[in-house]
């Protein structure tokens, strides 16, 4: 076993021990091992190094007490069983958690490492596989480069899972994975990557094999004739679980797509919108339990408004509502407030059975949504909704809500899951994670969307060897599904950066409610995907006139997207 180690967590309510493997970054097995009255934790290691920091964080989160002799006997039996299973399985995962967070034993379901990718046994003779990607870190978005490649293991579970993923794929096919970074916060701005992609392909320059870029900006390339159809790519199988099925289907036009979303670019979870709440402040103001509201289907926009509208304190004593005060609710008037449209069940556009575009946004509900959002954002004393016009000192306006939250200046903050890894990782307070509120209690489920910054992949039309590209990308997505996604979702997000077990269940609700919309994914900053935020950033509510001013241009653009696929 060498320096291999395991983490074991005991739950007295279910009488179940969950054993995690560091090497595979996932749940290996769940065992019923007898009666106990306390949660216990055990780690075994051939060497003690800084990896045990992760053990300690789990132990603190679960408030684990001292392990009694009797408990240790049960733990030893469980560990012995795991060691035997691990030995027989060549140290591979024996189980994963299901979508609902329930444990799956080796006898139930199909473990991730047993889902074959069906790829050929082939060597690419040391080929340098180049990934055009973003670097830079505005508003906490600087995690693009580490999702593609890292230089070495450092004892941090997510980071190391990327290293191991790349190492395995590289050794399997004799390749080297090379990031080609473009600074999206330099002089070229967020459009730097897509501008380079288009320029290089049109010039015939062979500078990269796949591009991973900003979804909204990448989609604007659909009409430029520079991208390859993923459905023509050999060895790509969109029926496999390492491709995001809903996104793949929303991106497809008449059986073709220039874009794909898969587990290789695992940070697509980063840009999913959610809520955080400050537990101490919620108690201090005597608020209803947000977790209970979610579970009872009562967490709605009206409930959020009623809970927060009267929470305001002039902390800096200047008799002015500003960035230095305390509020019930914090958000931004651009992408955050825009995300409510999908949280409330909206769609911008869909394709009909003949592949034609149908605009869906022009209705009375959209107008009502904008009125509700204007009321809670600008007519409520307990809300602080920032924009590029809001003075906030040295803090960039998109980061205002989460900055106020970590400074104990907001009871609720609308944000993205990214902030679990960035702003909240060193937050000393006690917080919970929530889905976006529903439109009303009649809504069937909690929903959300992925921001336009989400990474999607595009392959240059000039690809010199589609078979090689398809093989490598399928392998990277498959290995990410086995190793990196469990490290990110099940361990880092739901354990390391969550403070309670209910937050873990909330994260599942958030994930299960992600909506992918053709009209937004192909917006290209030309469609109708930002009409809600454009109105509310100007503190306006006249949806009818705004829609009328944009409809013709947007419809023409969407029709040109479909035409580009027809002509491919």
pLDDT value at residue 349 = 97
- The pairs formed by 541-549 with CB atoms below 8 angstroms and a separation of 24 or more are 541/367, 541/370, 541/371, 541/374, 543/366, 543/367, 543/370, 544/367, 547/361, 547/362
pLDDT value at residue 112 = 64
> In terms of domains, do 221 and 231 share one?
yes
> In terms of domains, do 253 and 282 share one?
no
> In terms of domains, do 109 and 119 share one?
no
pLDDT value at residue 425 = 87
Task: Scan for tokens 């701005």, then name that residue.
Answer: 189
- Of 342, 253, 329, nearest to 531 (Cα)? 342
Angle among Cα 181, 186, 190 to the nearest 5 degrees reads 75
Q: What is the pLDDT along the chain (568 residues), one digit of tens a residue?
A: 333 344 455 554 555 555 554 444 444 444 444 433 233 333 323 222 333 333 333 333 333 333 333 333 333 334 333 333 332 333 333 333 333 333 322 233 456 667 999 999 999 999 999 999 998 755 556 689 999 999 999 999 999 999 999 999 999 999 999 999 998 877 778 899 999 999 999 999 999 999 999 999 999 999 999 999 999 999 999 999 999 999 999 999 999 999 999 999 999 999 999 999 999 999 999 999 999 999 999 999 999 999 999 999 999 999 999 999 999 999 999 999 999 999 999 999 999 988 999 999 999 999 999 999 999 999 999 999 988 776 667 777 788 899 999 999 999 999 999 999 999 988 989 999 999 999 999 999 999 999 999 999 999 998 999 999 999 999 999 999 999 999 999 999 999 999 998 999 999 999 999 999 999 999 999 999 999 999 999 999 999 999 999 999 999 999 999 999 999 9
Specify whether the CB–CB gap between 534 and 388 falls below 8 A: no
**C-alpha span between 507 and 472 (Å, rounded):** 31
> In terms of domains, do 281 and 394 share one?
yes
In a domain, 285, yes or no: yes
380: domain CATH number? 3.40.190.10
In a domain, 558, yes or no: no
Domain range for residue 302?
273-449+501-546
Specify whether the CB–CB gap between 510 and 489 falls below 8 A: no
Domain total in the chain: 3
In a domain, 563, yes or no: no
> In terms of domains, do 304 and 394 share one?
yes
pLDDT value at residue 186 = 75
* pTM given for the model: 0.82
> In terms of domains, do 252 and 125 share one?
yes
Secondary structure string (H, E, C) spanning 180-241: EEEECCCCCHHHHHHHHHHHHHHHCCCCCCEEEEEHHHHHCCCCCCCECCHHHCCCCCCCCC
> In terms of domains, do 484 and 538 share one?
no
In a domain, 564, yes or no: no
> In terms of domains, do 301 and 217 share one?
no
pLDDT value at residue 268 = 95
In a domain, 552, yes or no: no
Sign of CA dihedral 512, 518, 524, 530: negative
In a domain, 13, yes or no: yes
pLDDT value at residue 98 = 32
Sign of CA dihedral 116, 117, 120, 124: negative
Specify whether the CB–CB gap between 485 and 266 falls below 8 A: yes
pLDDT value at residue 46 = 28
What residues contact residue 280 under an 8 Å CB cut-off, 6+ apart? Answer: 408, 429, 430
In a domain, 560, yes or no: no
CA 497 to chain centre: 14
- DSSP state, residue 436: P
Pairing of strands 6-11, 16-21: antiparallel
Specify whether the CB–CB gap between 402 and 257 falls below 8 A: no
> In terms of domains, do 532 and 384 share one?
yes
> In terms of domains, do 279 and 389 share one?
yes
In a domain, 238, yes or no: yes
**C-alpha span between 484 and 467 (Å, rounded):** 24
> In terms of domains, do 392 and 462 share one?
no
Specify whether the CB–CB gap between 288 and 264 falls below 8 A: no
Q: What is the pLDDT of residues 298-315, one digit of tens each?
A: 999 999 999 999 999 999
Please measure the distance between the N-terminal and C-terminal CA atoms of the chain and give it in whole angstroms. 53
pLDDT value at residue 219 = 96
> In terms of domains, do 218 and 236 share one?
yes
């Amino acid at each position: 076993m060498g320096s291999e180690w395991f983490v074991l967590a005991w739950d007295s309510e279910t009488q179940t021990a969950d054993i995690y493997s560091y090497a595979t970054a996932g749940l290996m097995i769940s065992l019923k091992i007898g009666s106990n009255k306390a949660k216990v934790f055990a780690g075994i290691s051939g060497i003690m190094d800084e990896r045990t920091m992760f053990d300690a964080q789990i132990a603190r989160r679960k408030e684990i007490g001292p392990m009694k002799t009797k408990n240790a006997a049960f733990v030893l039996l469980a560990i012995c069983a795991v060691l035997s299973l691990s030995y027989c399985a060549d140290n591979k995962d024996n189980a994963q958690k299901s979508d609902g967070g329930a444990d799956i034993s080796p006898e139930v379901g199909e473990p991730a490492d047993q889902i074959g990718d069906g790829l050929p046994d082939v060597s690419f003779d040391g080929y340098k596989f180049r990934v055009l990607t973003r670097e830079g870190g505005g508003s906490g978005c600087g995690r693009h480069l580490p999702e593609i490649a890292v230089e070495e293991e450092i004892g941090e579970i997510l980071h190391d899972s990327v290293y191991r993923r790349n190492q395995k794929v590289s050794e399997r096919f004799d390749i080297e994975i090379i990031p080609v970074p473009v600074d999206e916060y330099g002089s070229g701005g967020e459009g730097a990557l897509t501008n380079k992609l288009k320029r290089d392909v049109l010039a015939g320059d062979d500078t990269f094999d796949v591009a991973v870029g900003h979804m909204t900006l990448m989609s604007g390339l659909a009409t430029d004739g520079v991208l390859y159809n993923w459905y023509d790519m050999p060895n790509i199988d969109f029926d496999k679980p390492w491709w995001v099925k809903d996104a793949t289907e929303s991106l497809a036009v008449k059986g073709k797509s220039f874009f794909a979303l898969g587990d290789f670019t695992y940070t697509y979870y980063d840009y999913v919108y959610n809520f955080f709440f400050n537990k101490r402040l919620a108690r201090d103001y005597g608020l209803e339990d947000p977790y209970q509201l979610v579970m009872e289907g009562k967490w709605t926009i009206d409930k959020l408004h009623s809970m927060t509208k009267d929470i305001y304190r002039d902390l800096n004593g200047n008799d002015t509502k500003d960035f230095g005060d305390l509020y019930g609710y914090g958000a931004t008037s651009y992408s955050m407030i825009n995300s409510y449209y999908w949280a409330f069940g909206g769609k911008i556009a869909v394709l009909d059975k003949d592949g034609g575009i149908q605009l869906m946004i022009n209705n009375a509900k959209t107008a009502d949504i904008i009125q509700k959002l204007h009321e809670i954002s600008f007519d409520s004393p307990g809300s602080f909704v920032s924009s590029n016009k809001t003075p906030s000192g040295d803090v960039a306006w998109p980061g205002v809500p989460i900055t106020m939250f970590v400074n104990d200046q907001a009871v609720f903050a609308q944000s993205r899951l990214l902030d679990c890894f960035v702003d909240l990782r060193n937050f000393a307070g006690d917080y919970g994670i929530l889905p976006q509120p529903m439109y009303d209690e009649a809504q069937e489920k909690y929903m959300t969307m992925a921001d336009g910054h989400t990474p999607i992949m595009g392959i240059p039309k000039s690809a010199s060897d589609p078979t090689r590209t398809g093989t490598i990308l399928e392998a990277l997505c498959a290995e990410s599904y086995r190793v990196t996604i469990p490290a990110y979702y099940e361990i880092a997000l739901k354990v390391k950066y969550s403070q309670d077990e209910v937050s873990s269940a909330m994260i599942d609700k958030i994930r299960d409610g992600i909506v992918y919309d053709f009209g937004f994914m192909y917006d290209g900053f030309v469609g109708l995907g930002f009409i809600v935020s454009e109105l509310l950033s100007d503190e306006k509510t006249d949806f009818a006139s705004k829609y009328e001013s944009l409809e013709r241009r947007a419809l023409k653009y969407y029709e040109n997207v479909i035409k580009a696929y027809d002509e491919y």
